[in-house]
Structure 1
Amino acid sequence: MSGTLYVVSTPIGHLDDITRRALAVLGEVDWIAAEDTRHSQALMDHIGVGTRLISYHDHNEAQRTPELVKRLSEGDQGALISDAGTPLVSDPGYRLVRACQDAGVTVVPVPGASALLAALAVSGQPSDRFLFEGFLPAKGAARERALERLAGSDVTTLIYEAPHRVLSLLEALAPKVAADRELTLCRELTKRFETVRRGPVADILAWVSADKDQRRGELVLVLGPAARGEALDERDRALARALLEELPLSRAARILAAHTGLKRQALYSYLETL
């Protein structure tokens, strides 16, 4: 009979944020696949779990996946964890989950801490719809395209960013958004130096530029949605004006929505201002 793979969330900082269910599962499985076994061993020591750790990360994922699936297919009970938080969120693991499903191995979530959801919850930004961008490309045209996408997003957008790149990201983003476009910087969530600050992008840029401590640790940036019309680039705004010259407002809004993928009602309201 096949075993089970448990996808287990671990704390993102405060070690007391592990669930009782996670403690039980980690203590009972045959092995734990961990992104960095040295890092995870410190957590295991803290919670008193002696289960064997197996290294599973970006560089050995292809090789290690069939090995783990074979063990599970033969009856092992295994757990997958990341360095912190919920596995697979900007971390390796989805290939293992897919391979287990394809092999008929049961995959069970053991939910818990997540930097993504923790940041959204305290950001003060609209949370009815949101987009997770993960880590942006580090440089070049791909990074520029990602910044343009952020600037035009009409939903709250969450970004993970490396501390040494956060200042350059804010410097590049500030000129692309409206002066009142808000961003919440969440740093070191649940840890000793936890910081959450919300304000216009330019204000957050000035604060991070003046205080190098805000360029340290784990960061989640939560960018508020673009206002009406801000989600359109200059080419689309020109198209909007041209459509209005030839068509009724409702028809123009329908065509513009089909072209941009934005909500027709929001575009209708924007077109009324032109």
Structure 2
Amino acid sequence: MNFKANYLKMKNFFLFTLCSTLAMVSCQEKVKVDPMAPKEEGDKVIVHEEYSGTEPTKPEETEFYEPTVPRVEPSHLGSPPSDAIVLFDGKSLDGWVSSNDGSEANWILNDDGSMTVKDKAGDIETKQHFGDIQLHIEWRSPKDVNDEGQHRGNSGIFLNGLYELQVLDQNDNPTYVNGQVGSIYKQHVPLAMASVASGEWNTYDVIYHAPAFNADGAKIKSGIITVLHNGVLIQDHVEIKGTTPYIGWPKNPSHGKGPLKLQDHGDNSRVSYRNIWIREL
């Protein structure tokens, strides 16, 4: 073997050995990624202070026990949860007043534990005022059909006394879809029409987050509403654009907490309500 061939053989062996050694060192000294290390979210840095910095992470390092979650007894056979505020229990209208002048609510109290709109008596609303809420309410249109369109079984449920969730007998009764049953009136069309037969009881379960306003009265956050109609999701975390007038466009007057208001549509709609309760969020 001549000198040049021997030199090349030794050079290749040396390079192979060096690369192998570097690869072993690289494997042994990998950079360990800390899953709890600070991460940037936009212009905000999140720091996980409880992480110990050692590997592997112990299960208890990602667990916490305070603050404890309050215990709430759930609904049983139609009864409200243990922390609910019952707004109507079928026995009296003591918690309600006329929206017109604050006088005693003048709707019809029925023997079956429900109340019915008294034609031309006007809207009624709760004495208590609320902000963010979970609402359960049951309603029924008359069994005998007496009109059509917006004049059949029409009422409404107003959050903060301002934002209407539509009540309407929609069965074989076409109307404009942003005013049909389950709509956020003139704003959001429901995802489905889930009404039961005319004369049977419907349920609305609502999650409502009120809008927010700054010190100058300007809106800085829109209200948000989610609605289930007879257990079917019909409004999915939609933005309330403002008030819900029949004529005109949404307005955004500054306000704080407000009443729950029920509408007398003024056309002998004879809508009935029962089992109304709220959980403040």
TM (norm. structure 1) is: 0.23
Larger radius of gyration: 2
Higher relative contact order (CA closer than 8 Å, sequence separation 6+): 2
Q: Which has the larger share of helix?
A: 1
Structure 1 or 2: more strand by fraction: 2
TM-score, normalised by the number of residues in structure 2: 0.22
